[in-house]
Chain A
Amino acid sequence: MSVSALTPVGRLRVTQPRVVLSEWTKLRSLRSTLWSLFIAMVLGIGLACLFGAVTSSHWGGMSPHERANRHPLDIALAGVNIAQLAIGVLGVLIITGEYSTGMIRATMSAVPKRLPVLWAKAGVFGAVTFVLMLPTVLIAFFASQAIVSHIEPLKTSLSSPGVLRAVIGGALYLTVLGVFCLALGAIVRNTAGGIALFAGIFFVIPPLMNILPSSWNNAVSPYLPDAAGRDIFSLTTGAHDLSHWAGFALFCGYAAAAVAVAAVLLRRRDV
């Protein structure tokens, strides 16, 4: 068959919606992506149920102090802490996977203006994460309530003050975290480096702050990405913490800054 005998291409043009469609095809056509998202959902729901079941079975033997420290929302959203691992690593991989395999050269040859690719990747991954994590946190909430609501202090509902905000906040946190990590991946362009950066920011730096004198710690820690992001899915905030929405806004600001740095570097560097 000669090339001229193929279906004509018609009127071609690269547009942002087309790049979004392309990135959606890429996302859904990798097994590793589907597995990571599936694991995030299973862990998000499963851990809430597990935590609920353990609390429920041990409630009789718990001291009043222990009982006072158990909050139904902590049980419902326990899985967010684990799901964030899967979402964060996947966010890094979505972009570093293209660098490690060489796919980035094909991608940037098709869209040599480059930035539409970054916007599309962030948009598609953010949307997919939110669409999957919202039902995950809702199911985790209802499932864990089904397990623990026979214990009066652990009974709550979405109509209780702050509960709906915190539950949806869990999904919002994971969404913004995913985009943040995608930007980290775009900045370092290397899977190991990206994951190390993600782990450093979310799991290493926060506990290190305890080395600081407490007045310093209290002044700095609430503004770290991890703490700021958590405000949105905490039922209450501590004396030194930012308010729920202020914390979340700051977290979004970190993600936006990371995306902006990634955009500048993407334009400037050789592929």
Chain B
Amino acid sequence: MRLSSGARYGARVIEARNLTKDYGDKRAVDDLSFTVQPGIVTGFLGPNGSGKSTTMRLALGLDRPTSGTITVNGKPYAQHGAPLHEAGALLEARSVHTGRSAYNHLLALAQTHGIPRRRVDELIEMVGLKEVARKRVGQFSLGMGQRLGIASALLGDPQTLLLDEPVNGLDPEGIHWIRNLLRSLAAEGRTVFVSSHLMSEMSLTADHLIVIGRGRLIADLSVDEFVRRSSKKLVRVRTPQAAQLRALLSGPDVGVTGEGNVLEVSGLSGEQIGEMAAAHRIVLHELTPQQASLEDAFMELTREDVEFQAGLPEPEPERAVA
């Protein structure tokens, strides 16, 4: 393991403090505060248009905050002497001149920092663009463009990586490659910050999540905690006496949905339902606690967020998950 010298600058984190950005009348990022830690993959999650890309641009000094700050490894990105060594970025919008070859694109970026030419060649090989390195980027597919973006993000051996929707346009093999790459970068002690609007993707790569909606922080927690706190616990019940059970379970905090002889019950644990059914001599053919998928949890959170203030919904009272 070889940590980059960025470690010497102290805090190897991305830190947003009361970050706010307005474009005209529209507030794209609203009083956002979070810290992205090294050594893990942090997912940056939110629906399209929630301010993820704007936050990334603010972190890289491309846009200036209206108020608040965002620092990379202890300083605003632009104040570092070797910015590409502090943070490598893949932005969602294409950031390559279509008339230039992949090789010359990377070479020109490398030259600003005095990065050796040999590293450019090696990165091209590593991301799988060797055969097309001399072709003009305008002829590249979306997936090849993403690979070139990854190569440019890694040019300066950065301590921190900011990747905006990196799996966009990649084939399954490419997606698999990105996941492994992100994990190995984090395992080397780097700070890896990856945005996505797809929860399912994050569930496979991220350890920690920062969720935003409408530019505001909704949640900042580990993936496990995210699922535990934000998913509704459902219990699937199959019974020939569905109507009877439905009447029995109904209450102010209990939701019962379903049709035929299958019910989905929220607000009660499997044990509670089983005991109530036994007490009333109702036959159960199935009693299965359902763990809501991350995708469901995410949908739940962002749906509630439409006019939602920062902070999590009050977690439901802890009930045993049978």
For B111, what are the chain A residues with a Cβ–Cβ distance below 8 Å? 18, 21-22, 25
Which residue in chain A gives the minimum CB-CB distance to B88?
A: A109
Which residue in chain A gives the minimum CB-CB distance to B54?
A: A270
Whole-angstrom distance between the Cβ of A61 and the nearest chain B Cβ = 49
For B63, what are the chain A residues with a Cβ–Cβ distance below 8 Å? 270-271
For A271, what are the chain B residues with a Cβ–Cβ distance below 8 Å? 57, 62-63
The 8 sampled A-B contact pairs (Cβ below 8 Å) are A12-B113, A22-B109, A25-B111, A26-B100, A30-B100, A110-B83, A110-B109, A112-B61
Q: Which of B119-127, B210-218, B225-233 contacts A (4 or more CB under 8 A)?
A: B119-127
Report if A6 contacts B (CB, 8 A).
Answer: yes
Report if B243 contacts A (CB, 8 A).
Answer: no
For A235, what are the chain B residues with a Cβ–Cβ distance below 8 Å? none
For A6, what are the chain B residues with a Cβ–Cβ distance below 8 Å? 119, 122-123, 126, 154, 157
Whole-angstrom distance between the Cβ of B92 and the nearest chain A Cβ = 10
Interface centre among B2, B89, B112 (most CB of A within 10 A): B112
Which residue in chain B gives the minimum CB-CB distance to A26?
A: B108
Whole-angstrom distance between the Cβ of B230 and the nearest chain A Cβ = 34
Q: Which of A95-103, A127-135, A166-174, A191-199 contacts B (4 or more CB under 8 A)?
A: A95-103
Among A3, A21, A104, A270, which residue has its beta carbon within 8 angstroms of that of B157?
Answer: A3
Interface centre among A19, A21, A110 (most CB of B within 10 A): A110
Q: Are A270 and B64 in contact (CB under 8 A)?
A: yes
Which residue in chain A gives the minimum CB-CB distance to B97?
A: A103
Contact with A along B166-187 (1 / 0, CB 8 A): 0000000000000001001100
Report if B116 contacts A (CB, 8 A).
Answer: yes
Among A2, A22, A103, A112, which residue has its beta carbon within 8 angstroms of that of B83?
Answer: A112
Point out residues on B near A: beta carbons under 8 Å. Answer: 1-2, 57, 60-64, 77-78, 80-85, 89, 91, 93-101, 104-105, 107-109, 111-116, 118-119, 122-123, 125-126, 152, 154-157, 181, 184-185, 188
Known A108-B62, A112-B61: A7·B100 in contact at CB below 8 Å? no
Report if A8 contacts B (CB, 8 A).
Answer: yes
Q: How far is the CA of A8 from the CA of B115 in the complex (A)?
A: 9
For A11, what are the chain B residues with a Cβ–Cβ distance below 8 Å? 114
216-271 of chain A: CB within 8 A of chain B:
270-271
Interface centre among B80, B83, B118, B154 (most CB of A within 10 A): B83
Whole-angstrom distance between the Cβ of A24 and the nearest chain B Cβ = 8
For A2, what are the chain B residues with a Cβ–Cβ distance below 8 Å? 184
Q: Are A13 and B188 in contact (CB under 8 A)?
A: no
Q: Are B97 and A110 in contact (CB under 8 A)?
A: no
Which residue in chain A gives the minimum CB-CB distance to B136?
A: A31
